[in-house]
Amino acid sequence: MHKLNHSNQITLALMLLTVLVVWGIRTQRLNTSPVEARLENGNSSLDDVKIYAQNMGIGLEEAERQFHLQDAAGELQIKLRENEADTFAAIWIEHTPEFKIVVLFTENAQQKIKPYLTEELTGVVEARDVKTSLAMLEDSQEKVISSLLNLGIQARSETDVYENRITIFVNETDKSQLDAALQNKQITLPNNVDVVTVWKLEQTGEAANPPSLGDHFPQLLSTPNVFVDLPPVQGELVLENGCLRLSGINNRSTGSSYLLIWDARFSTRTEQGVVRVIDSITNEVLASVGDHVMVGDGGDIIGRTWKPIPEECPGPYLVVGESVWKIDRP
């Protein structure tokens, strides 16, 4: 038998190694799904889509479709604000119980949306009629605040595009003056305006009493009109060093316990030693420490807070998005 010299043995080994590497790459590509291949070659992050699919309980292909639809919804919003300003009222995305894009108009919603329905958006967009357009809502908000300031009444306001309403926040002293002005017909308020009395005007939307956690309940200076469109996350609401955190979050590279950053829509109260998160306007209990909760994901970029976050409340951070609610444990 012909024997290979040392040089030939090395050459053959390298050739075999090359074949194995190429075969491995080809095998890896064959095992990659079409969706994964598209994502790897596209703009969407495969990891993000996988996490989204897992959180929403859907397949990769459907998750990819919903990602594209979210981009399409952003483009649709720009077009509607430019072309339909007189009647366009709002647009948002609902993830459950089914994925849909909701668009509001003040008249003929079904007809108004038709020219904008691409093949991708057909069957996904739900158009509804409301009373007030976004432009009218913002104009009315500005006029109400101006009228109150002319009477020496300090106020803050928010627009609720989901309910097509305006909320005015005043402190107790100014509320008495406002009531007198309304009774004397010095001012009139539109039917879609709600007046809420707060304990401190700068923290609009809070309940009549300060949050029971004090500075350990970090709040943003302002409530966003539009929330970051990320799938909600779930975990256990826990109290650590006097700070509310969401613990047990999976699929996060920065850890499983996050300090929650709130806005003025939320407050806390403590009852029999149990800290509860409440709706600032209605005082409804949304969740309590120890509950398993679903939290709207507002991202990890923190705007300005009313007071510095205490040192005993370290990150990573999770800004509370549209809502927080109690759910059954998995």
Residue range 271-324, pLDDT digits in tens: 888 899 998 777 889 999 999 999 988 877 777 777 788 889 998 898 898 889
Are 70 and 84 found together in one domain?
Answer: yes
**Domain presence at residue 222:** yes
* pLDDT for the residue 258: 92
Please tell me the distance from the alpha carbon of residue 142 to that of residue 324, in angstroms, as a whole number. Answer: 30
Residue 19 pLDDT greater than 70, yes or no: no
Question: Domain total for the chain?
Answer: 3
* Residues spanned by the domain of 58: 54-129
Q: 142 and 117 in one domain?
A: no
CA angle 30, 34, 37 (to 5 degrees): 80
Q: Which two tokens stand for residue 133?
A: 């357009």
Continuous H helices in 5-45: 6-31, 34-41
Q: What is the mean pLDDT of residues 99-114?
A: 92
pLDDT score of 263 more than 70: yes
Quote the tokens at residue 329.
Answer: 């444990």
168-196 pLDDT tens trace: 888 777 888 899 999 998 999 988 898 88
pLDDT band (50, 70, 90) for residue 254: low
Q: Same structural domain for residues 58 and 107?
A: yes
Q: Exposed, middle or buried: residue 274 (CB in 10 Å: 0-12, 13-18, 19+)?
A: exposed
Q: Is the pLDDT of residue 29 over 50?
A: no
CATH number, domain containing residue 103: 3.30.300
Residue with tokens 């095992």: 31
Specify if 17 maps to a domain.
no
Task: Judge contact between 329 and 272, C-beta under 8 A.
Answer: no
Give the number of C-alpha atoms closer than 13 A to the C-alpha of residue 209, restricted to the C-beta side. 8
**88-116 exposure pattern, b = at least 16 Cβ within 10 A, e = fewer:** bbbbbbebeeebbbebbbbeebeebbeeb
| CA atoms of 172 and 88, how far apart (whole Å) | 35
274 within some domain: yes
Domain boundary among 168, 198, 228: 198
> In this structure, are 103 and 166 located in the same domain?
no
Beta bridge partners of 275: 270
- Say yes or no: 193 and 281 in one domain: no
Q: Is 29 exposed, middle or buried (0-12, 13-18, 19+ CB in 10 A)?
A: exposed
d(CA 80, CA 75): 9
On whether both 119 and 88 belong to a single domain, the answer is: yes
Residue 310 lies in a domain: yes
pLDDT of residue 38: 53
For the purposes of burial, counting CB atoms within 10 Å of the CB of 41, is it exposed (0-12), middle (13-18) or buried (19 or more)? exposed
Contact 100, 94 (CB under 8 A): yes
Residue 134, beta-bridge partner list: none
At residue 236, does pLDDT exceed 90? yes
Looking at the structure, tell me whether residues 145 and 121 fall in a common domain.
no
pLDDT, average across residues 29-40: 49
Same structural domain, 191 and 293: no
Residue 231 within a domain? yes
CA angle (261, 264, 270) in 5-degree steps: 80
Tell me, yes or no, whether 246 lies in a domain.
yes
- 126 or 322: which leads in pLDDT: 126
Residues 249 and 313 in one domain: yes
Choose the final residue of a domain: 129, 148, 171. 129
Confidence of residue 201 (pLDDT cuts 50, 70, 90): low
Q: What is the pLDDT of residue 22?
A: 35
Q: What's the pTM?
A: 0.48
- pLDDT the model gives residue 24: 40
Residue 46 lies in a domain: no
Same domain (yes/no): 150, 116 = no
How many CA atoms lie less than 13 Å away from 175 in the CB half-sphere? 14
Q: Which residues pair with 246 in a beta bridge?
A: 237, 258
Judgement on whether residues 221 and 322 belong to the same structural domain of the protein: yes
Lowest mean pLDDT among 29-43, 49-63, 67-81, 155-169: 29-43
For the residues 120-125, what does the mean pLDDT come to? 91
State whether 304 and 280 are in the same domain.
yes
Q: Residue 137: what pLDDT? A: 85
Measure the CA dihedral 44/45/51/52, to 10°.
Answer: -10
In Å, how far from its chain's centre is CA 94? 11
Asked if residue 18 is part of any domain, the answer here is: no
